[in-house]
Amino acid sequence: MLAVDTAPHLFWITSRAAGTAALLLSSASVGLGVAMAGRLLPNRGGNLRYTHEALSLATIVALVVHALALLGDGVLHPSLADVTIPFVNSYERLWTTLGIVGGWMLVLLGLSYYVRARIGIARWRRLHRFTLLAWILGIAHTLGEGTDAGVAWFLVAAGVVTVPAVLLVIARVSAAAHRTNEPQQRQEVTAA
């Protein structure tokens, strides 16, 4: 039997797996959230909301593991500041910064759900829209710096969850644009 010593790479492998999990979970959460907000699913009630919440919390856990596991990496030797503060890490500075900013945004926007009554539901909904930007930053980080970004299995796995989420976002934006143009079209018809 061939044995492989994974000990020197255990932290990097853990971070890599957690990063992949964070991308997959956040994509599923964004897709479900957009579908619920756009009334694209028949049941907007409790079960879907609980699933969305669970996916969001799982994403946050995966992001924390992704960042903190790197602290034990024997090759990069990052500090806590390197994995939590934008522009500090010199390794792949742009892609790392996009990941850090996107990660913090996902954590803060995800946890904002629990203070929405305090900040106001309308304000929380406006803030929550920035989750889409955070998710896009995470995708950019993954494709720009991710070890598996060019590997077929990863691209298929990421595509399975990101492509439907992107299509749902496009459908939601298109529907909103159509609703915005509808009153203007009515005025033009009645004026003619």
Q: Can you tell me the distance from the alpha carbon of 144 to that of 137, in angstroms, rounded to the nearest whole number? A: 10
125 occurs within a structural domain:
yes
152 occurs within a structural domain:
yes
Query: What three-state secondary structure class fits 42?
Result: coil
119 occurs within a structural domain:
yes
165 occurs within a structural domain:
yes
102-138: pLDDT as tens digits = 999 999 999 999 999 999 999 999 999 999 999 999 9
12-68: pLDDT as tens digits = 999 999 999 999 999 999 999 988 887 777 765 568 889 999 999 999 999 999 999
Phi-psi region of 85 (alpha: psi -120 to 50; beta: other; left: phi over 0): beta
pLDDT exceeds 70 at position 92 = yes
> Model pTM?
0.84
| Closest residue by Cα to residue 52 from 26, 75, 72 | 26
Element (H, E) at 28: helix 10-37
When divided into structural domains, the chain yields a total of: 1
Angle CA(25)–CA(21)–CA(29) in degrees, nearest 5?
A: 5
Element (H, E) at 170: helix 152-191
Give the chain's end-to-end CA distance (angstroms, integer).
Answer: 82
Q: Can you tell me the distance from the alpha carbon of 151 to that of 148, in angstroms, rounded to the nearest whole number? A: 5
2 occurs within a structural domain:
no
166-179: pLDDT as tens digits = 998 898 888 878 77
1 occurs within a structural domain:
no
What is the residue range of 133's domain? 7-191
Q: What DSSP state is assigned to residue 45? A: S
